[in-house]
Amino acid sequence: MPHSDDFLAKWEHIIGDVTKTDVPLECLKKVVIKLFGGRQKTINLRTLLKQGLALEEIEQLLNRTFAEHDREIRDVDFVVDVAAVAEIVQPETDKILGKL
């Protein structure tokens, strides 16, 4: 279900304030692994899902990539799929707020 730009902007603001240390894969668009020497490796989770990979397979791919590049990794960026987070969280938020 498509969301308005205003709706997604509100969720962007909420998500921006959260420390992202343990993010479910279904809430990510991609993982950008920044390597020493200015190189980077981008794993696009949305594309992999569209190609038919299961979340478990994507997790294995990520773990293998992290292990292979362990000594080269300078930083890792998790690009959050705001629409996916909103789809998961908004119904629960509505339930809780509806009881107030």
The pLDDT tens digits of the residues spanning 73-87 come to 999 988 888 888 878
Are 45 and 28 spatial neighbours (Cβ–Cβ below 8 Å)?
yes
pTM score: 0.70
The pLDDT tens digits of the residues spanning 5-41 come to 887 777 777 666 666 566 788 889 999 999 999 999 9
Tell whether the model's pLDDT for residue 1 goes beyond 80: no
pLDDT confidence of residue 11? 72
35 has which bridge partners? 73
pLDDT confidence of residue 85? 80
Q: Chain centroid to CA 62: how far?
A: 13
User: By percentage, how much of the chain surpasses pLDDT 70?
Assistant: 85
